[in-house]
């Protein structure tokens, strides 16, 4: 039996008074210990799919089976790492990491023991007493990952967790994520629009089509680890993924909620795409200051 | 807190200006009083007011009045904070409740505390309970509305992450909704305090039953203007102190924790 199975997941959105079908019947099987990367054009609904797996959203049709049982609610068996971390600004790094343990009623000493282990694993010990606004974006994502691992979930769901990171930090976390996966044997579902990330991380890449999306193709990925993005064979593999992806991105032109040019650039993982993202980030930052 | 507080890095100190201003003000007051334009029972000199302050402090009457008012305020404000936070959270989380009870809250909020005095007297008599009722109901809706706004403005990701990690029901409220909405709730407490402070003085004036407000009433009955001014100075100083010490500290603590300054 698959650890996790999606059966004909459909989802609609209201968009400016008309109904858009985001998910057109997604089928996917994830075995225990799999590291599945979901790639697809921006706005194709892969993040929505992940949220449905987490139980944070309800599908309009189909069902998610977790250990053979249908998912009806969210819960700590499938822990989500959000794109911006979603760390609690009113808590220290340590209290953030211990949050899930606290709400499940684990006593203080036991909590400290567990959090210590994961703080150490994510190299956060020095920052345990800091508040989250004092951390860099990369550090925040480390905290978010530690907070998720502490819960010892059956499945780890990661929603573009590295999208906002600079290149060096991202490379480092790509290596560490592989190590964590190897060490913890977690089942991981990882959403990204960056094919290099997908190629480096996954045991399998599931390519989403454009809206209404389905899983267009599942490509197994058994390159030896640890992998780095600029390995020659891996780059060929990235091209294989792109081959699947490119027509989907084209189809999305104009129909996408966000600009088509951005989708293209992002999907191809080009420098232009990265630059644009950074610019956007800067703008966002400027707005809050 | 000065009205011109600016976040500029190089802040000029205006302390000498302030000191000079207040010395000047008292001097002018003294001069006008000494000029004899008005008799001293109508326009007492700062010296006479100061005398009343000292006597009031020595015989304990000011302290007693102050303590009585503060005690009532503390009880009333605690009730309105507890009630307002609860009401605000339910309003933010249940739209049907917001559309019904919430609309009534908006209406009730526009009633000044003092307008509740007749009901307070008729329902509770000339008692502490009556005054506390006026304070609590005068402050509760400001707390409610700010809590509502705070909870409504919580980033959805915080709530989703918490639910995902297993926080539900009471746990979600105490460990996520309240701390996440707290920066807004502080504004609610501040407004609530301001309404409560005005409410307690006003209610005591009308209930004529101990406290600083009652002392104002006594001063008026006895034509003792210097006592009235002395009590007013105590009221003003208390207001300033609570704002500058209690709320300022609380705000700074929360803001620096969240990285908002």
**Domains with residue ranges and CATH for chain B:** 59-258 (1.10.3720.10)
Q: What are phi and psi of B159, to 5 degrees?
A: -70, -40
Mean pLDDT of A280-285: 46
Which residue ranges of chain B lie beneath pLDDT 50? 1-2
Q: Taking residues A11-23, what's their average pLDDT?
A: 87
Q: How far apart are CA A217 and CA A37, in angstroms?
A: 12
Look at the block and give the residue holding tokens 């009880």.
B75
Phi, psi of A63 (to 5 degrees): -150, 160
Distance in angstroms (rounded) separating the CA atoms of residues A42 and B22:
65
Distance from CA of B109 to the nearest CA of A (A): 30
pLDDT in tens, A107-116: 999 999 999 9
Query: What number of other Cβ atoms are within 10 A of residue A14's Cβ?
Result: 8
What would the mean pLDDT of A201-223 be, rounded to a whole number? 90
Helix axes B178-207, B128-152, angle to 10 degrees: 150
CB-based contact A103 B162, cutoff 8 Å: yes
Structure tokens at A26: 């997604």
Contacts of A90 in chain B (CB under 8 A): 179-180, 182, 254, 257-258
Query: How would residue A15 be classed by pLDDT, with cut points 50, 70 and 90?
Result: confident
pLDDT digit string, tens, across residues A130-175: 999 999 999 999 999 999 999 999 999 999 999 888 888 998 999 9
> What residues of A are in contact with residue B157 (Cβ under 8 Å)?
82, 84, 86
Q: Does B170 touch chain A (CB under 8 A)?
A: no
Beta strands in chain A (DSSP E): 4-15, 18-30, 35-39, 61-66, 69-70, 78-81, 155-159, 187-192, 204-208, 215-220
* Contact at CB, B258 and A74, closer than 8 angstroms: no
**Angle B191-B197-B203 (CA atoms, 0-180°, nearest 5)?**
130
> Distance of CA B120 to CAs A12, A24, B125, Å?
54, 63, 7
Q: Which candidate from B155, B165, B179 shows the least CB-CB separation from A79? A: B165
Residue B161 is predicted with a pLDDT of 96
Bridge-based pairing state of the strands A155-159 and A204-208:
unpaired
- Contact (CB, 8 A) for B254 and B182: yes
Establish whether the linkage from the previous residue to A256 is cis, with ω within 30° of 0.
Answer: no
> Half-sphere exposure of A251 toward its Cβ, with a 13 Å CA cutoff?
15
Length of chain B in residues, anyone?
261
Cβ neighbours of A74 in B, within 8 Å: 160, 163-164
Name the residue facing A86 among B161, B179, B258 (closest C-beta).
B161
Taking residues A205-216, report their average pLDDT. Answer: 90
B contacts of A76 (beta carbons < 8 Å): 164-166
pTM for this model (two decimals)? 0.84
pLDDT of residue A211: 84
Nearest CA in chain A to B160: A56
Are A80 and B180 inside 8 Å of each other by CB? no
Other beta carbons less than 10 A from residue A40's beta carbon: 29
Closest residue of chain B to A85, computed from CA coordinates:
B157
Q: Are B33 and B176 in contact (CB under 8 A)?
A: no
Residue B20: its pLDDT value, please?
A: 96
User: Under an 8 A CB cutoff, do A151 and B160 touch?
Assistant: no
Please list the residues that pair with A69 across neighbouring strands. Answer: A66
CB contacts of A151 in chain B (<8 Å) are 165-166
CB of A50 within 8 A of CB of A4? no
Q: What is the pLDDT confidence band of residue A278, given thresholds at 50, 70 and 90?
A: very low
**What is this model's ipTM?**
0.84
Asked whether the beta carbons of residue B165 and residue A133 sit closer than 8 angstroms, the reply is no
Question: Which pLDDT belongs to residue B260?
Answer: 79
Residue A83: pLDDT above 60? yes
Task: Mutation target for B interface from A53, A72, A74: give the one with most B CBs within 10 A.
Answer: A74
Nearest of B218, B225, B242 to residue B64 by alpha carbon? B218
- A99 vs B155, B160, B165: nearest CB: B165
Give the lowest-confidence range in A50-64, A260-274, B35-49, B144-158: A260-274
Mutation test of the interface with chain B: which of A48, A73, A103, choosing the one with the most B Cβ atoms within 10 A? A103
Provide the b/e sequence for B228-240 (b: ≥16 CB within 10 Å): bbbbbebbeebee
Predicted confidence (pLDDT) at residue A23 exceeds the cutoff of 80: yes
Nearest-angstrom CA–CA distance, B201 and B235: 9
CB contact, 8 Å: B173 with chain A?
A: no
Domains of chain A are 29-55+153-288 (3.40.50.300)
* pLDDT number for residue B140: 97
Strand order in the sheet with A4-15: A18-30, A4-15, A61-66, A69-70
- Three-state SS at A27: strand
Q: Among A51-65, A234-248, B88-102, which stretch is predicted with the lowest mean pLDDT?
A: A234-248
- Give the three-state DSSP class for B223: coil
> A90 with B162: CB under 8 angstroms?
no
Report d(CA A13, CA A86) in Å as an integer: 24
> What pLDDT, on the 0 to 100 scale, is given for residue A271?
37
Chain B residues whose CB is inside 8 A of the A55 CB are 164
**Among A50, A53, A45, A54, CA closest to A24:** A45
Task: Look up residue B242 and give its two tokens.
Answer: 């609570």
């Amino acid at each position: 039996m698959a650890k996790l199975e999606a059966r004909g997941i459909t989802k609609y959105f209201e968009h400016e008074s008309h109904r858009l079908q985001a998910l057109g019947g997604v089928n996917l099987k994830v075995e225990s210990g799999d590291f599945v990367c979901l790639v697809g054009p921006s706005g194709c609904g892969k993040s929505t799919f992940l949220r449905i797996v987490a139980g944070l959203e309800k599908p309009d049709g189909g069902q998610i089976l977790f250990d053979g049982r249908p998912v009806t609610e969210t819960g700590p068996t499938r822990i989500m790492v959000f794109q911006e971390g979603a760390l609690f600004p009113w808590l220290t790094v340590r209290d953030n990491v211990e949050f899930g343990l606290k709400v499940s009623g684990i006593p203080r000493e036991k909590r400290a023991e567990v959090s210590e282990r994961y703080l150490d694993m994510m190299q956060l010990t020095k920052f345990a007493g800091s508040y989250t606004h004092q951390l860099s974006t990369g550090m925040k994502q480390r905290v978010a990952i530690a907070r998720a691992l502490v819960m010892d979930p059956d499945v780890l769901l990661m929603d573009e967790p590295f999208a906002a990171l600079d290149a060096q930090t991202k490379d480092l976390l790509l290596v560490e994520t592989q190590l964590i996966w190897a060490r913890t044997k977690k089942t991981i579902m990882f959403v990204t629009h960056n094919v290099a990330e997908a190629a480096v991380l996954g045991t399998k890449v599931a390519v989403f089509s454009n809206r209404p999306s389905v899983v267009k193709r599942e490509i197994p990925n058994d390159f030896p680890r640890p992998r780095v993005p600029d390995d020659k064979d891996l780059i060929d593999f990235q091209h294989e993924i792109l081959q699947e992806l490119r027509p989907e991105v084209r189809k999305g032109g104009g129909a996408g909620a966000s600009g088509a040019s951005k989708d293209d650039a992002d999907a191809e993982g080009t420098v232009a795409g990265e630059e644009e993202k950074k610019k956007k980030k800067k703008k966002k930052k400027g707005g809050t200051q | 807190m000065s009205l011109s507080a600016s976040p500029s890095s190089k802040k000029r100190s205006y302390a000498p200006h302030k000191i000079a201003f207040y010395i000047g003000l008292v001097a002018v007051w003294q001069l006008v009083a000494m000029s004899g334009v008005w008799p001293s029972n109508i326009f007492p000199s700062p010296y006479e007011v100061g005398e009343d302050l000292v006597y009031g402090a020595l015989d304990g009457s000011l302290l007693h009045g102050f303590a009585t008012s503060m005690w009532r305020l503390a009880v009333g404000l605690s009730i309105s904070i507890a009630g307002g936070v609860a009401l605000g959270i339910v309003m933010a989380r249940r739209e049907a409740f917001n559309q019904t009870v919430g609309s009534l809250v908006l209406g009730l909020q526009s009633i000044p505390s003092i307008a509740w005095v007749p009901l307070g007297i008729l329902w509770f008599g000339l008692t502490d309970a009556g005054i506390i009722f006026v304070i609590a109901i005068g402050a509760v809706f400001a707390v409610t509305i700010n809590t509502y706004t705070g909870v409504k403005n919580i980033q959805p990701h915080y709530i989703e992450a918490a639910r995902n990690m297993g926080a539900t029901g009471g746990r979600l409220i105490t460990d996520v909704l309240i701390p996440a909405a707290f920066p807004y709730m502080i504004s609610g407490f501040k407004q609530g305090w301001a309404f409560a402070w005005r409410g307690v003085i006003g209610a005591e004036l009308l209930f004529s039953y101990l406290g600083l407000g009652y002392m104002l009433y006594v001063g008026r009955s006895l034509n003792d203007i210097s006592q009235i001014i002395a009590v007013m100075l105590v009221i003003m100083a208390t207001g300033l102190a609570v704002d500058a010490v209690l709320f300022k500290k609380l705000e700074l603590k929360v803001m620096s924790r969240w990285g908002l300054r």
